[in-house]
Amino acid sequence: MPRCDFCGKKVSLPFHCQYCGKKFCGDHRLPPDHACPGLTAWKKNPAPGVGIRYGSGGTSAYGGGYPTSPQDKQPRKCPAHCVPYLKIIAAIIVFILIVILLFVLMGRLG
């Protein structure tokens, strides 16, 4: 059974540090907890889920550390012409008006 490279505790499933390559227990799995030589590289990567914006070039969910800059950007507002549901509603209204117009014309012709 492998042992933690920091405290020596036996671990059935050790955590593998991607910055120093050693194996650690659950208590020492993070780089600050085992005095990792790659601690500065770990701090440069944002923590999983911090600042991730899917679809707009977010960061990887596999990194660790702290966010590099605050994410206080305002979300972009889309103008009315690019909202698809408004186009769909307008098409439905035009279709209904055409059907009503056809019924009126059919009533006068028949």
Regarding whether 64 and 47 lie in a shared domain, the answer is yes
Provide the mean pLDDT of the chain. 78
The answer on 80 and 41 residing in a single domain is no
Q: Where in the sequence is the domain holding 29, given as residue range(s)?
A: 1-68
What pLDDT was estimated at residue 56? 47
Nearest partner of 36 among 6, 3, 66, judged by Cα: 6
Q: What is the CATH number of the domain that holds 11?
A: 4.10.1110
- 53 and 86 in a single domain? The answer is no
- pLDDT of res. 57: 47
Q: pTM for this structure?
A: 0.42
- Measured at the CA of 68, the angle between CA 62 and CA 73, to 5 degrees, comes to 100
The pLDDT tens digits of the residues spanning 19-71 come to 898 999 999 998 889 889 988 888 887 666 555 555 544 444 454 445 555 55
CA–CA distances in Å: residue 75 to residues 24, 53, 78, 81, 106: 40, 10, 9, 18, 51
Same domain, 96 and 62: no
pLDDT tens digits for range 82-99? 667 888 899 999 999 999
